[in-house]
Structure 1
Amino acid sequence: MKQGWVDLKVSYEDVSEYVTVVTIAGELDTYTAPVLRQPLVDLINHGRVFLVLDLSAVDYADSTGFGVVVGGLKRVRAHDGRMALVVTQERLAKVFRITGLIRVFSIFGTVGAAVEFLGREVPGAHG
């Protein structure tokens, strides 16, 4: 049982007027889920509702970790936002396929592709 440390790093960067990339590295599980949940809540509360979650450096995710990602999606949708994921590891991609979440999320192999997609999704951003 883990105690005394958190093996998850979360950082974010506004890459455009509308889109923020949230980079997640490490293990996303029951113990570390709050490390991701709070920054997502804070970003959304500050109007950043077009989010790319870069999961390419996530070594492991359990149901609680996936729940935080799904919760983030629900929050951005409640604010008319969108979320895209970057998934490069087959073991995570497999979980998205098995659980049917692949039909819920827009999933990309690169951050650039996800950012480009979300940029097209911003209402009124294209004159």
Structure 2
Amino acid sequence: MELNVSTASQEGHAVVTATGELDLYTAPRLQAALAGLLREQVDRIVVDLSGVEFCDSTGMNVLLAAMKRLKEQGGELELAAPRPAVRRILQVTGLDTVFT
């Protein structure tokens, strides 16, 4: 499976939409998109996960690293609309309380 990533930014905030499976092989696509936005100094990133069917630890690490870097820059990262399977992973790992 593949991961498609698109970004849209305006007035200091951005929306990243991911569709497909977020895993060891596809996570670099999301990482590249997030890194590009971080270089642009956006202060808020919303990652739309409504189209992500699966996410492994590599994908979670990409999201955590981006959140940490954005917080260091005074911004915030939000996860939006995760599917039940992804939401379950967030809950089991305790990351649902980190991404609030």
Band the TM-score falls in, shorter-chain normalisation: over 0.9
- Aligned-pair identity (%): 37
Please provide the CA RMSD for this pair.
Answer: 1.2
Aligned residues: 100
Higher strand content, 1 or 2 = 2
Q: Which runs of 5+ in 2 are unaligned?
A: none
Letter in 1 for 2:60: F
User: If you compute each CA radius of gyration, which structure gives the higher value, 1 or 2?
Assistant: 1
Letter in 2 for 1:91: A
Letter in 1 for 2:83: Q
Q: Provide the residue aligned with 2:52 in structure 1.
A: 58
Q: Provide the residue aligned with 1:8 in structure 2.
A: 3
Q: Distance in 1 between matches of 2:97 and 2:82?
A: 17
Q: Is the 8 A contact 2:53 2:85 kept in 1?
A: no
SS at match of 1:101: coil
Q: Is the 8 A contact 1:43 1:49 kept in 2?
A: no
Q: Distance in 2 between matches of 1:37 and 1:88?
A: 18
Relative distance call for 1:80 and 1:87 in structure 2 (3 A) is same
Q: Is the 8 A contact 1:8 1:25 kept in 2?
A: yes
Letter in 2 for 1:12: T
Q: Which runs of 5+ in 1 are unaligned?
A: 1-5, 107-127
Structure 1 stretches (4+) deviating beyond 6 angstroms?
none
Q: Provide the residue aligned with 1:3 in structure 2.
A: none
Q: Provide the residue aligned with 1:116 in structure 2.
A: none
How much does 1:87 deviate? Answer: 2.6
Instruction: Provide, for residues 10-42 of structure 1, a one-character-per-residue CA deviation record: whole Å limited to 9, x for no partner.
Output: 10112x412210000011000011101011111
Q: Provide the residue aligned with 2:14 in structure 1.
A: 20
Task: Give the TM-score of the pair, scaled to structure 2.
Answer: 0.93
Q: Distance in 1 between matches of 2:55 and 2:43?
A: 23
